[in-house]
Amino acid sequence: MSVTEQGLLERDKDTMTLNMGPQHPSTHGVFRVILEMDGEVVETAEPEIGYLHTGIEKNSENKRYVHVIPMTDRLDYLNPPGNNLAF
């Protein structure tokens, strides 16, 4: 059975689906856009926002401040002191 018979490859239009992921290491897994492109023109864009949510806010609700600091270090591995200051 060929790929076209299985319906896995359909070339009715000259469109391409692209995954446009994060452009910076600190945003890995936080934002992604699935683009449907016709040449250089974007036909559709489907954003996926925050699928790397760790739930640190909820985990911090019943903990003491000194127990939350190690968790805030892991929010953004490029700037842990900034997260410690914010919390």
- Please tell me the distance from the alpha carbon of residue 35 to that of residue 82, in angstroms, as a whole number: 33
Residues 58 and 23 both lie in one domain: no
Residue 32: domain span: 1-53
Q: Is the pLDDT of residue 3 over 50?
A: no
Q: Is the pLDDT of residue 4 over 60?
A: no
3-state secondary structure of 46: strand
Residues 46 and 79 both lie in one domain: no
The domain total for the chain is: 2
> Of 4-8, 18-22, 25-29, 66-70, which has the strongest mean pLDDT?
66-70
pLDDT score of 25: 67
When pLDDT is cut at 50, 70 and 90, the band that residue 44 belongs to is very high
Residues 75 and 49 both lie in one domain: no
Residues 87 and 68 both lie in one domain: yes
